[in-house]
Amino acid sequence: MPAEQPLNSEFLLTRLLVQNFVSVPAPIFRRSSWIECGGMDEQLWYTPDWDIWVKLSTVGDVVYHDEATTAFRLHGGSLTVTGSRNAGEFRSQMETVLDRYLLRLPSASRRKVERLARASINVNVSLAAASGGSAAALASAAGNMLSLGPVGMSRYLRDSRLGERVLSRLRARMTGDF
């Protein structure tokens, strides 16, 4: 895909509902778009960025650059780590975003996206538990991915960017930041 090509809102929505892949410091957007989409939902303490990226994708063109232009540090005290320690609340935050926007997809693609997105939520909850010391949670994450079958698992791995997310956390763990 050319680096400067605007992404179709439906394409972006299908990817974002599977996994929030947008790094918080990375996006640049117009103030008018922020105002038009209603800004961040302050009721979401873990997923407000995910929610805003979905909303912004519906008010104008989105251009995705597939090169790292920003970074953020993973550490044991970050919201990414501490916010996922309460599995029920963590799951609820992700389900809120999914349930809020899933019906915006055409029915033809909705079922496939929902299956991947719910598996992604299960994997995220399992990986958070594994990060907290539960080795059994890794088996649960693997089981959720395997339940998608070869095609679904391939699509999930592409859309979730799981490899990138897991590798960065493993590096943080190995360096003692977790």
Q: Tell me how far apart the alpha carbons of residues 126 and 81 are, in angstroms, rounded to a whole number.
A: 13
Tens of each residue's pLDDT in the chain, 178 residues: 455 778 888 889 999 999 988 877 778 889 999 999 999 998 998 899 999 999 998 888 888 777 777 776 666 676 666 666 678 888 999 999 999 999 999 999 999 999 999 999 999 999 888 877 888 888 998 999 999 999 999 998 888 888 877 777 777 777 876 6
Amino acid 166 reads V
What is the pLDDT at residue 1?
46
Q: Tell me how far apart the alpha carbons of residues 176 and 74 are, in angstroms, rounded to a whole number.
A: 11
Q: Tell me how far apart the alpha carbons of residues 158 and 4 are, in angstroms, rounded to a whole number.
A: 20
The rounded radius of gyration (Å) of the Cα atoms in the chain is 16
Q: At what angle do helices 9-18 and 87-101 cross, to 10 degrees?
A: 160
Closest CA to 137 of 122, 121, 147, 120: 122
Structure tokens at 143: 């089981």
Cβ(37)–Cβ(52) below 8 Å: yes
The model's pTM is 0.84
